[in-house]
Amino acid sequence: MSIKLNINNAGLRSHELDQTRFLVEAAFHNLESKQGAGNDFLGWMDMDETAAQFAPGEFERIKAAAKKIQGQSQVLIAIGIGGSYLGARAALEFTGGSFYNQVAKRNGGIEVYFAGNNISSAYVSYLMQIIGDRDFSVNVISKSGTTTEPAVAFRIFKEKLEQKYGKEGAKDRIYATTDAKKGALRGLAEAEGYETFVVPDTTGGRFSVLTAVGLLPMAVGGMDIDAVMQGYRDARARYAVCDLDNNDVMRYAATRFIMMLKGKKIEILSNYEPALTQFGEWYKQLMAESEGKDQKGVFPVTANFTTDLHSIGQFIQDGSRTLFETVLWVEKSACDIAVPHDPANVDGLNFASGKTMQFMNEQAMHGTLLAHVDGGVPNLIITLDELNDHNFGELVFFFWKTLGVSAYMLGVNPFNQPGVEDYKKNMFALLGKPGYEDMKADLEARLNAVL
Ligand code: PA5
C-alpha cells in the first residue's frame, strides 16, 4: 500500500469519528450510487483507457502523439489554465522534481513548459527566450474552448509556429485537447486540421488530469502513463468499500468534517518535498472549487516545508486557531545525500555529519508535528512510500474521492464552479467583448469611483 493515513494527532475523542459514521456512509453511498448533486460529472470514478469516456483508441493515440512530439521537438508548450493545466504540471514535478525540465528524462521525454495560465506578457517573453531557436510543438488545452488566458497564449504561440515552420508545418505541431463537439477551439482545430484529443463530457476540469488533458503532457515529458493509470485503478479498488474503520478516504473525509465543526476551517496541506509544491496547487483548486459554495467549505492552503517554516510557520504555531494541518510525507527520497564531515566545524554542524538529508528532513517533520499539535493545530499525516508515476495516479484518486465524500457531507455540489464565472463576466465587459455591452458602463462607473 503506498498511501497511509494517520489521524492519531488530530485530537479526536474516541467517540467523535464513530458519531460521524451515519453521515459519512450516507455521503459515500450517495457518491457510489451516482444519485447526488452534479452526478453527470462523475466520469473520474470510472476513468480508464478502455472506458467509454475515452474515444476509441484515444489512449494509444495519446502515446503515439507523445512519441511524435518527442521526435519533432525539443520543447512542448502546454497551453491551459485551472483544471486544464494544474494536474499535468503537478505530475511532472511529482515524478521529476522541481527541475524536471533540466534533469535526465525517461522514455525519450523532452522539456515541457506551461503557458496560458496567466495574462502576463513578461511570462510569454521569457518562455520565448527559453525556446530560442529550438524546435517546439504546442498542446492547446481547453474544455470549453473559450477561456481567455489560453486563447491569448495560443494566438501568440501559433503565430510563432507559423513564422518558423509555415502554416502547413505549424499544423503538424499543434495538438488541441478540447470538447468532442462544441467550443471555439473545436471549431478552429477542425478548420485548421490539427490532431485533436477529447475532454470527456462527464469530466470537469479539476477531474481531467487522467484524460488527454494531463496524460499527453505527462507522456511527452517522459512519464509512464500506463503506470499512472494503474495507480488510479489500484486506488479505485482500495477505496471502493464503504467501511469507515478501514477506508482511509472515509476516515479523511470524516476527520475534515469534524475539524470544520470545531472551527478549524482552514486546511494546510504541508509537504517536505519541493517536488510536491505543484501537487499542492492542484489540491487547492480541487478542494476550493469543489467545496467552497453556499457559504460553506474548508479553505485549502498549502505550505512547503521546511521553507515555509521560516515564513508562515510563526502564524501556524501561534496565530489565530482556525487551522488544521494535513502533512504529505514521502518515506523514500529519490536519492539520499549525507552531510559531509568538516574537521574545522566552524559552523558547528558536525553533530549532523554523516546523517542523511532525508533523516534530517524526517526529524524536522517530527519536531514540527509535535510543535504544531502543542500549539493547537490538529495534524493528519498522509504518508506516501515514494514519488513515482504509479503513486501519482493513486494519490489523485485518493483526493478525488475524499473530496467527493467531504462535499456530499457538507451538502454542496462538488462538480460545478459558478463562482469562477463572475470575474470572467466583468473582464469580458471591460474588454468590450460582444454580448456584455450592458454591463460595461456600470462597471466603469464603479471603478472610477474607487480607483
Ligand atoms: O475546474 C475547472 O473547471 C476550471 O478550473 C477550468 O479547468 C478552467 O477554467 C479552464 O477551463 P477550460 O478548460 O474550459 O479552458
Pocket flag, ligand 1, residue 178 (CB < 6 Å): no
Q: What is the pLDDT of residue 55?
A: 74
What is the rounded distance in angstroms from the CA atom of residue 17 to the CA atom of residue 20? 5
Q: What is the pLDDT of residue 145?
A: 85
Among 44, 79, 84, say which to mutate for ligand 1: greatest number of ligand atoms within 8 Å of CB: 84
**438 vs 366, 420, 450, CA distance in Å?**
57, 20, 20
Q: How confident is the model at residue 355 (pLDDT cuts 50, 70, 90)?
A: very high
Tens of pLDDT, residue by residue over 123-140, are 999 999 999 999 999 999
Lowest mean pLDDT among 238-252, 276-290, 436-450: 436-450
What separation in Å is there between the alpha carbon of 90 and the centre of ligand 1? 16
What separation in Å is there between the alpha carbon of 206 and the centre of ligand 1? 7
**Ligand 1 atom closest to Cα of residue 207:** 1
What separation in Å is there between the alpha carbon of 141 and the centre of ligand 1? 9
What's the average model confidence in pLDDT over 350-376? 97
Q: How confident is the model at residue 48 (pLDDT cuts 50, 70, 90)?
A: confident
- Indicate if 289 belongs to the active site: yes
Pocket flag, ligand 1, residue 208 (CB < 6 Å): no
Pocket flag, ligand 1, residue 148 (CB < 6 Å): no
Pocket flag, ligand 1, residue 143 (CB < 6 Å): yes
How is residue 103 written as a grid cell? 534533469
Contact 225, 62 (CB under 8 A): yes
Pocket flag, ligand 1, residue 147 (CB < 6 Å): yes
**Ligand 1 atom closest to Cα of residue 144:** 14
How is residue 423 written as a grid cell? 470575474
49, 111, 195, 289: the active-site residue: 289
Identify the residue whose C-alpha is closest to ligand 1 atom 15: 142
Q: What is the pLDDT of residue 49?
A: 54
Q: Is the pLDDT of residue 26 over 60?
A: yes
- Using CA of residue 303, residue 306, residue 307, residue 308, what is the dihedral sign? positive
Tens of pLDDT, residue by residue over 75-110, are 999 999 999 999 999 999 999 999 999 998 999 999
Identify the residue whose C-alpha is closest to ligand 1 atom 5: 82
Q: Is the pLDDT of residue 230 over 60?
A: yes
How is residue 267 written as a grid cell? 486546511
Backbone dihedral region of 264: left (phi > 0), alpha (psi from -120 to 50 degrees) or beta?
beta
Q: What is the pLDDT of residue 146?
A: 86
What's the average model confidence in pLDDT over 350-370? 97
Q: How confident is the model at residue 53 (pLDDT cuts 50, 70, 90)?
A: low
Q: Is the pLDDT of residue 264 over 80?
A: yes
- Indicate if 366 belongs to the active site: no
Tens of pLDDT, residue by residue over 148-176, are 999 999 999 999 999 999 999 999 999 99
What's the average model confidence in pLDDT over 433-442? 90
Which of 286, 305, 440 is CA-nearest to residue 372? 305
What separation in Å is there between the alpha carbon of 331 and the centre of ligand 1? 33
Contact 17, 244 (CB under 8 A): yes
Lowest mean pLDDT among 260-269, 301-310, 397-406, 437-446: 437-446
Q: Which amino acid is at 411?
A: G
Task: Supply the pTM of this predicted model.
Answer: 0.95
